[in-house]
Structure 1
Amino acid sequence: MSQQIITPELCDWITEQSRAGHPSEAILGAMVGSGWDATVAREALARMLGGAPAAVVPVPPSSSDGYTPGLPEPDLVGRPSEIDAGDRKVKIVLSLREPRVVVFQGLLSDAECDGIVEAATKRLARSETVATNSEGSEVNAARTSDGMFFERCESELIRRVEARIAALLRWPLDHGEGLQVLRYRPGAEYQPHYDYFDPAHAATASILKRGGQRVGTLVMYLNHVEAGGATIFPDIGLDVMPVKGNAVFFSYDRPHPSTQTLHGGAPVIAGEKWIATKWLRQGVFN
């Protein structure tokens, strides 16, 4: 994993947690459990609170315990125009290093897009997000879409797509959540947000037991949108247009705004937008 830096935002967060009455041991545990290196976390606490707890804090398990080191990452050595994803070649449209953002062309065939949409249609319900002040999920005004989740490898089509993603991003198939499919009607949007789990949230400790932090996101476009519906990255001024079969990937090495992975779904102006999202975890998701 890339070097972690103690940012002003992290320092502010530590100060807020301390003022809220959380002991330093709990703050340290939340940071480590959310993906921060224990040594960096201790240094940050010492800097802000005048000393870190002496007790040894568990670090994320090693690869032998079901965790894969580093981050999901396509093989872009030599700046290739396309890469092998196992059963097909996928073209590279755009690649940013900081933050890591890659746009792929032709990740899915038209038939695969149509098959996913058809299978998802009868299972759609109003999309939810992690509940604001408790565990579980809830309907959120910031997310005006309909959605559903496939079980991992629940059909031959889903298995084939997930295997391709695993090969493309060089990340184990079982380190990913099931595909989520979303439909956005005209006017629907998803306001800018982060995909990692907030270390300060009440539900995070429980969520992390199922595979650790999210470390990467792949958004696949399942149809052509008449107007609107771009995936936007406000921090870096990037808009990715929804083109059927294409996808945008981004990764984040810590649960913090310094990753510059703030993103959202711009309102659909005309037509509908269908996407499938794959979230990648540190460890085996179950």
Structure 2
Amino acid sequence: MTQAVSPELRDWLVSQLAAGHSVPALRASMRAAGWHDAATDIALAQLEAGFPESRAASALPPRTSMPGPDLEGSPLYIDVGDRRVQVLQTMKHPRVIVFGNLLSAEECEALIAAARVRLARSLTVETKTGGEVLNVDRTSEGMFFERGENETVRQLEERLALLLRWPLEFGEGLQILRYAPGAQYRPHYDYFDPGEPGTPTILKRGGQRVATLVMYLQEPEKGGATTFPDVGLEVAPVRGTGVFFSYDHPDPATRTLHGGAPVVAGEKWVATKWLREREFR
């Protein structure tokens, strides 16, 4: 089966070459990620020839299209058809928006009930291999819904597509997480590290992640805030609200380092939606 040399792979190769990695090292990384020798040869030949469509790694321009709500005129509410979502807080760098009235209490309960019987120790994407692994920094339990798996999920996904002006098909499946007392997720980035050998494999499914929306389904009694250490921001996990943030390139300069602070008392349940740059399969 022929493996296509995508623009994302070319950009990754350019960025790695600019960072000082050799062509033999890039070849080894691609082989480790499962790329066939023929596709590897084509990609590296284009790279060495200065492929004209590749973006300059030393100065990646901002993406021309990014997910996010229409905030023209600084609206207090955004009409998404089935409800009016509140705009509670905004920040420009990093681009962070806190939404209120994003989910009803009934929707929160329905998602928790459907997820509860399928919970397992949360995994994280392993960018060294392209697979999933247990991570000591993440001590929650979780599960994934398929897109449109049930009526509640379908309605929520359609709402988010309208709110964030991003195609529904570009979203990963909705993830539900439960944080018991003491559980946390230490600060991390949601984009896939371009320097890791497994990243080209991950990008085949839909390109880079470009935005995250964390929605709070059940608030704990104490603790559990979503934190942004680079800017000193903490978002309280209030039921029915959500925090959205985007990152136009996979780099710490986006200031999107974030984490889930430990739950001190009670349980925190969240739903997370990650958005990709193209259709996620």
TM range (shorter): 0.7 to 0.9
Q: Percent identity?
A: 56
CA distance in structure 2 between the aligned counterparts of 1:151 and 1:218, rounded to whole angstroms: 17
Matched, 1:233 2:228: yes
Contact 1:228 1:267 in 2 (8 A): yes
2:165 matches 1:170: yes
Deviation at 1:69, TM superposition (A): 5.0
After TM superposition, the score normalised by the length of structure 2 is 0.81
CA drift of 1:135 comes to 2.8
Mark the runs of 5 or more structure 2 residues left unpaired by the alignment.
Answer: 1-14, 31-46, 56-62
State the match for 1:135 in structure 2. 130
Q: Give the distance between the partners of 1:238 and 1:280, measured in 2 at CA.
A: 22
Residue 54 of structure 1: aligned partner: 49
Give yes or no for the alignment of 1:215 onto 2:215: no
Secondary structure of 2:218's aligned partner: coil
In the TM superposition, what are the counterparts of 1:1-20 in structure 2 within 5 Å? Answer: 17-18=19-20
CA contact (8 A) 1:130 1:138 kept: yes
Partner of residue 99 from structure 1, selected from 91, 94, 102: 94
Aligned-partner Cα distance in 2 for 1:171–1:24: 38
Show CA shifts across 1:139-159 (max 9, x none).
Answer: 110000000000000111100
1:23 corresponds in structure 2 to 23
Looking at structure 1, the residues matched to 25 and 166 of structure 2 have their Cα atoms a distance apart, in angstroms, of 32
Take 1:86 and 1:285, find their aligned partners in 2: how far apart are those partners? Answer: 25
Letter paired with 2:129: S
Shift of 1:202: 2.0
RMSD, aligned CA: 2.4
Match of 2:143 in 1: 148
Which residue matches 2:154?
159
Residue 74 of structure 1 corresponds to 69
Gaps of 5+ in 1: 1-12, 31-51, 61-67
The code of the aligned residue for 2:243 comes to V
Segments of 4+ moved more than 6 angstroms: none
**Change beyond 3 A, Cα 1:16–1:189:** farther
State the Cα distance separating 1:23 from its structure 2 match.
2.1
Aligned length: 243
How far is 1:200 from its partner?
1.2
Residue 122 of structure 1 is matched in structure 2 by 117
Whether the 8 Å CA contact 2:127–2:199 is kept in 1: the answer is no
**197 and 284 in structure 1: CA distance in 2 versus 1, 3 angstrom threshold:** same
Q: Any conservation in 1 of the 2:158–2:168 contact (CA below 8 Å)?
A: yes
Q: Which amino acid aligns with 1:214?
A: R
Residue 114 of structure 2 aligns to a residue in which SS? helix
Q: Give me the TM-score of the superposition, normalised by structure 1.
A: 0.80
Secondary structure of the corresponding residue to residue 234 of structure 2: strand
CA contact (8 A) 2:125 2:133 kept: yes
Q: Does 1:278 pair with 2:270? A: no
Report the AA paired with residue 170 of structure 1: R
CA contact (8 A) 1:24 1:53 kept: no
